[in-house]
């Protein structure tokens, strides 16, 4: 099984999680986690959402901006062709729907694309965010026994993960939020 965990960067508290089969590519999970966050009314237009390299695909960048109206900062791979990516960011047809004000929709889309371009070009500066997220994942794996789940049904995996995500949230709420404290706790 594969756990996808969404965290709020400012508080490090868990926002939601999904459990999928281990052989499912993370790039295919991208729309599922966004749908879950949108369903819970956590994901709002204009939000910046960071993802690991596993979620990388040109289509996911486009989907995040066009459908969800977010700024998807998916850490790119070495072979990322920025000119190809930026060429794919043309107006979606939905903008030209007769029920919407086309000019307003265009400006919103242009603003998202502009912010996305500036963030994706400077993604290396966002490495501290990635580092903090990885520390929370290490805490989950090492301190809360999520590295090796010896469960055989999806129901038992969901129960186990739900409890551990709750424990992660409680740990963070108790004040263990800085890098050193997370690393110290995950080594025990």
**Where in the chain are the domains?**
2-126, 129-187
pLDDT at position 38: 93
Task: List, for residues 165-177, the tens digit of each pLDDT value.
Answer: 888 888 888 887 7
pTM: 0.83
Question: What is the DSSP pairing of strand 48-51 with strand 71-74?
Answer: parallel
Write the burial class of residue 139 (CB in 10 Å: 0-12 exposed, 13-18 middle, 19+ buried). Answer: buried
DSSP string, 6-47: EE-TTT--EEEEEEE-TTS-HHHHHHHHHHHHHHTT---TT-
pLDDT at position 97: 76
Residues in the chain, how many? Answer: 188
CA distance 2 to 108: 35
CA distance 82 to 61: 11
CA distance 133 to 92: 32
C-beta separation of 140 from 164 below 8 A = yes
pLDDT at position 188: 60
pLDDT at position 150: 74
> Which residue stretches of the chain have pLDDT < 50?
none
- What is the rounded average pLDDT for all residues in the chain? 86
pLDDT at position 67: 92
CATH number of 2-126: 3.40.50
Query: What are phi and psi for residue 46, nearest 5 degrees?
Result: 95, -10
pLDDT at position 13: 86
């Amino acid at each position: 099984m594969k756990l996808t965990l969404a965290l709020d960067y400012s508080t490090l508290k868990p926002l939601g999680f999904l459990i999928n089969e281990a052989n499912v590519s993370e790039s295919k999970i991208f729309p599922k986690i966004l749908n879950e966050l949108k369903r819970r009314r956590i994901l709002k237009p204009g939000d910046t959402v960071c993802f690991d390299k596993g979620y990388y695909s040109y289509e996911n960048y486009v989907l995040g901006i066009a459908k969800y109206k977010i700024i998807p900062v998916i850490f790119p791979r070495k072979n990322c062709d920025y000119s190809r990516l930026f060429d794919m960011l043309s107006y979606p047809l939905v903008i030209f729907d007769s029920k919407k004000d086309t000019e307003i929709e265009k400006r919103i889309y242009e603003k998202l694309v502009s912010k996305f371009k500036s963030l994706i070009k400077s993604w290396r500066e966002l490495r501290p965010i990635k580092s903090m997220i990885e520390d929370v994942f290490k805490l989950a794996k090492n301190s809360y026994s999520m590295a090796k789940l010896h469960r055989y049904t999806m129901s038992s995996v969901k129960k186990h993960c739900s409890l551990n995500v709750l424990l992660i949230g409680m740990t963070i709420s108790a004040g263990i939020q800085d890098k050193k404290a997370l690393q110290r706790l995950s080594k025990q």
